[in-house]
């Protein structure tokens, strides 16, 4: 007498049960599913301690949703999957398809080893590679036309979580949950699908309708803060998109989701741009070598309060407001004349919501070397950005206690006032470094018309 028909559901960046096409396919094709997460040494080695702590908590939340049936395995993916297929007499391994370079190569290697992979769904509303120019079926290189085509392409509505998931019972040796601690002196957001859905419900009620105005102000709770939940697939973009209307605020939020999907599409079509310049000519620019100024940038001690508050937020919370991500990136590339990859790697170490495509191309956008019609000579002024988006200095005071006593009129440029404080002096003069940055651009004789994406 044969046993129950089984399929494996291999979780990766989809740590949820709601609107999970691969999970639904596994359930539909079997009597029991074998849920598994494989601890990937390569990804663990590249992940900072805050992101690992978040992942560990997310796995436990997923396990709760699965009735404590999640297999958490350690080892080579092929070896682990072959062992599970044999042990459970499973017919296939179901996955959500991934599109970033590492995930693509990993899955190709697993399939080449004879593992029967079945891909259903992806982490995106519209999978990379699907949105193409109607004129010549090539990928878009500019965001705005991509966004219009992405909306026209559309996406299906989300599906509710299955009411009953019959899971195979793991043994004790299958339950290798990591004990990654939150680093002392830091705090991270709550992980898991329930926390993601709760945060979305809160944001819909309290922030979505004013998102177009509040999203640029880092001192208030004006953004969705769903980045980590989206990164780990604890919530799917479709779940967000289905609730959006046609107001300006809702459209601005929809565009932010589309930016994430645009960058995934760009990296999919240009896999080398995770580390290399999208516009190759910028590799020839004259850059500085990292020195004590780079260390000051990482430590939030540049002497520019708006920059330093953001860098301290990153290190303390594993998250940074999107407005300040652009400001600190511009400061690194344009004021310190360092290559964007140095900053991207530091973000990779500290961000809980680190996404390879969004990180690499967000940095390249600000550096002026990526997919953007505004060229390299756009330079963010760290003082004016602070005065505009943190007018009263509330954000600065939250992360820089040594400036907390200063009034708004002094807090953005403390060097102009003879104040006895422990806060560091400016490491550079922004006005002078801006001119230096533009001079270096001229040295490589960049004509922005030569780039087809401009």
User: What pLDDT does 449 receive?
Assistant: 46
Q: Which of 213, 248, 269 is the last residue of a domain?
A: 269
pLDDT over 90 (residue 444): no
CA distance 215 to 205: 15
Surface-to-core class of residue 1, CB atoms within 10 Å of its CB (0-12 exposed, 13-18 middle, 19+ buried):
exposed
**Residue span of the structural domain in which 85 resides:** 6-122
Q: Is residue 141 part of a domain?
A: yes
Judge whether residue 236 has pLDDT over 80.
Answer: yes
Nearest one of 198, 186, 256 to 227, comparing CA atoms? 256
Decide if 267 contacts 356 (C-beta within 8 A).
yes
The stretch 367-378 carries a mean pLDDT of 74
Of the chain, the percentage scoring pLDDT greater than 70 comes to 96
**Short-list 41, 55, 43, 54, CA closest to 348:** 43
Check residue 118 and give its pLDDT: 98
| pLDDT tens-place string over residues 100-127 | 999 999 999 999 999 999 999 999 999 9
pLDDT of residue 377: 65
Contact 35, 70 (CB under 8 A): yes
How would you label 290-308 residue by residue, b for 16+ Cβ within 10 Å and e otherwise? eeebbebbbebbbbbbbbb
Taking each helix axis from N to C end, the angle separating 77-88 and 101-112, rounded to the nearest 10 degrees, works out to: 50
Residue 176 lies in a domain: no
Which tokens belong to 377?
Answer: 């000579």
Q: Are residues 112 and 256 in the same domain?
A: no
pLDDT given at position 371 = 85
**Average pLDDT of the chain?**
94
What number is the average pLDDT over the span 192-217? 97
Q: How far is CA 228 from CA 21, 50, 136, 195, 209, in A?
A: 20, 11, 36, 11, 22
Look up the CATH number of the domain holding residue 349.
Answer: 1.10.579.10
As a whole number of angstroms, the distance between CA 337 and CA 331 comes to: 8
Together in a domain, 301 and 437: yes
Q: What integer pLDDT is reported at residue 3 of this predicted model?
A: 76
Would residue 183 count as lying in a domain? no
- What CATH code is carried by the domain that includes residue 262? 1.25.40.80
If you average pLDDT over residues 188-208, what whole number do you get? Answer: 97
pLDDT at 374: 58
275-279, 334-338, 448-452: range with lowest mean pLDDT: 448-452
pLDDT, mean of residues 409-422:
87
Stretch 359-380: mean pLDDT, rounded?
83
Kindly state whether residues 362 and 263 are assigned to the same domain.
no
**Residue 387 contacts by C-beta under 8 Å, 6 or more apart in sequence?**
412
Number of residues written out for the chain: 454
Asked whether the predicted pLDDT for residue 137 surpasses 90, the reply is: yes
The beta strand positions in 40-196, using DSSP E, are 71-74, 90-95, 117-119
- 201/194 Cα distance (integer angstroms): 11
pLDDT of residue 72: 98
- Confidence at 58, pLDDT banded by 50, 70, 90: very high
> Using CA atoms, how far apart are residues 209 and 225, in angstroms rounded to an integer?
15
Same domain (yes/no): 243, 311: no
Do both 222 and 360 map to the same domain? no
User: Is the pLDDT confidence value at 372 over 60?
Assistant: yes
Q: Is the residue at 391 inside a domain?
A: yes
Q: Which residues of 50-88 are buried (b: 16+ CB within 10 A; e: fewer)?
A: bbbbbbbbbbbbbbebbeebbbbbeeebbebbbebbeeb
Q: Say if residue 233 is in the same domain as residue 370.
A: no
Q: What value does the mean pLDDT take over residues 164-184?
A: 95
Q: How far is CA 107 from CA 67, 110, 117, 326, in A?
A: 27, 5, 8, 33
Kindly state whether residues 415 and 286 are assigned to the same domain. Answer: yes
Is residue 448 predicted with pLDDT exceeding 90?
no
Q: Are residues 403 and 279 in the same domain?
A: yes
In sequence order, which residues have a C-beta less than 8 Å from that of residue 345 and are 6 or more positions away? none
Among 232, 249, 269, where does a domain finish?
269
11, containing H or E segment? strand 6-11
Q: How far apart are CA 220 and CA 243, in angstroms?
A: 23
Residue 175 belongs to a domain: no
pLDDT surpassing 60 at residue 45: yes
Asked which of 269, 292, 326 is the last residue of a domain, the reply is: 269
Look at residue 450 and tell me whether its pLDDT is greater than 50: no
> Has residue 252 got a pLDDT over 90?
yes
Same domain, 265 and 286: no
Structurally, how many domains does the chain consist of? 3
């Amino acid at each position: 007498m044969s046993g129950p028909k089984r399929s494996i559901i291999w979780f990766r960046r989809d740590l949820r049960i709601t609107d999970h096409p691969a999970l639904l396919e596994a359930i539909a094709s079997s009597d029991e599913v074998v849920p598994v997460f494989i601890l990937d040494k390569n990804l663990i080695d590249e992940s900072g301690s805050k992101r690992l702590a978040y992942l560990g908590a997310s796995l436990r939340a997923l396990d709760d949703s699965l009735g404590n049936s999640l297999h958490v395995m350690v080892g080579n993916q092929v070896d682990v999957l072959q062992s599970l297929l044999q042990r459970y007499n499973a017919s296939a391994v179901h996955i959500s398809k991934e599109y970033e370079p590492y995930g693509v190569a990993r899955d190709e290697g697993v399939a080449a080893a004879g593992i029967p992979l079945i891909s259903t769904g992806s982490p995106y509303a519209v999978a990379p590679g699907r949105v193409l120019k109607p004129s010549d079926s090539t990928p878009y290189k500019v965001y705005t036309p991509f966004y219009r085509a992405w909306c026209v392409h559309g996406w299906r509505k989300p599906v509710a979580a299955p009411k009953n998931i019959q899971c195979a019972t793991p043994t004790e040796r299958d339950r290798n949950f990591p004990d990654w601690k939150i680093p002392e002196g830091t705090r991270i957001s709550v992980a898991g699908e329930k926390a993601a859905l709760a945060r979305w419900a809160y944001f819909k009620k309290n922030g979505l309708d004013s998102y177009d105005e509040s999203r640029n102000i880092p001192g208030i709770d004006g953004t969705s803060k769903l980045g980590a939940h989206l990164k780990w697939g604890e919530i799917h973009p479709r779940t967000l998109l289905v609730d959006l209307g046609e107001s300006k605020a809702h459209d601005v939020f929809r565009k932010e989701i589309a930016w994430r999907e645009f960058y995934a599409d760009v990296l999919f079509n240009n896999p080398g741009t995770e580390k290399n310049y999208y516009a190759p000519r910028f590799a020839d620019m004259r850059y500085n070598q990292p020195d004590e100024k780079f260390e000051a940038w990482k430590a939030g001690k540049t002497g520019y309060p708006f920059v330093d508050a953001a860098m301290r937020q990153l290190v303390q919370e594993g998250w940074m407001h999107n407005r300040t991500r652009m400001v600190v990136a511009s400061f690194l590339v344009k004021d310190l004349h360092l290559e964007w990859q140095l900053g991207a790697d530091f973000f990779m170490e500290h961000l809980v919501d680190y996404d390879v495509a969004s990180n690499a191309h967000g940095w390249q956008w600000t550096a002026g070397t990526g997919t953007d019609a505004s060229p390299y000579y756009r330079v963010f002024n760290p003082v004016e950005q602070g005065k505009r988006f943190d007018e009263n200095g509330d954000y600065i005071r939250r992360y820089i206690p040594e400036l907390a006593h200063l009034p708004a009129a002094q807090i953005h440029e403390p060097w102009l006032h003879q104040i006895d404080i422990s806060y560091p002096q400016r490491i550079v003069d922004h006005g002078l470094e801006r001119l230096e940055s533009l001079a270096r651009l001229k040295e490589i004789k960049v004509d922005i018309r030569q780039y087809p994406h401009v």
